[in-house]
């Protein structure tokens, strides 16, 4: 996305990977294995983190200004972690439905 700094993208990716692994290890229904949880979390965190940045005006303006405020970082962490967890949960559910 336009305006996202490398630091913000890295925050999204790392928090997404953590969120993916957290949800994957919390329930066998969602677990894709460590590598699968990490990959799904990275993708989910990266995508949702960028969407949140684009949709929230305060975060978008801080991104364009190159400002890494505490509020912006927390928003990126939450969005990335949630995105990673959500995509990992969806992928885990689909995997289990196909395997059944």
Q: Examine residue 92 and state whether it is found in any structural domain, yes or no.
A: yes
- The rounded percent of the chain whose pLDDT value lies above 90 is 55
Q: Examine residue 23 and state whether it is found in any structural domain, yes or no.
A: yes
**pTM for the whole thing?**
0.82
Q: Examine residue 84 and state whether it is found in any structural domain, yes or no.
A: yes
Tell me: the pLDDT tens digits for 52-93? 777 776 666 665 555 567 777 888 888 899 999 999 999 999
- Residue 27 structural domain: 6-99
Q: How far apart (Å, rounded) are the C-alpha atoms in residues 37 and 33?
A: 6
Q: Enumerate helices (H) and strands (E) in the chain, giving the number of each.
A: 4, 0
pLDDT for res 1: 44
Mean pLDDT of the residues in the chain: 85
Mean pLDDT throughout 10-26?
95
Q: Which helix (H) or strand (E) holds 13?
A: helix 6-26
Q: Which tokens is 65 given?
A: 């200004």
Q: Please, are residues 59 and 4 in contact by the beta-carbon 8 Å criterion?
A: no
Asked if pLDDT for residue 37 goes beyond 80, the answer is yes
Q: Examine residue 54 and state whether it is found in any structural domain, yes or no.
A: yes
Q: How many structural domains compose the chain? A: 1
Q: Please, are residues 80 and 13 in contact by the beta-carbon 8 Å criterion?
A: yes
Mean pLDDT throughout 9-18?
94
């Amino acid at each position: 996305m336009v305006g996202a700094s490398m630091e913000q993208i890295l925050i999204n990716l790392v928090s997404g990977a953590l969120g993916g692994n957290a949800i994957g290890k919390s329930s066998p229904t969602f677990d894709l294995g460590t590598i699968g949880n990490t990959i799904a979390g990275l993708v989910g965190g990266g995508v949702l983190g960028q969407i949140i940045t684009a949709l929230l005006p305060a975060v978008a303006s801080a991104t364009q200004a190159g400002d890494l405020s505490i509020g912006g970082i927390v928003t990126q962490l939450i969005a990335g972690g949630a995105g990673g967890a959500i995509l990992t949960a969806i992928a885990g559910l689909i995997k289990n439905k196909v395997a059944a």
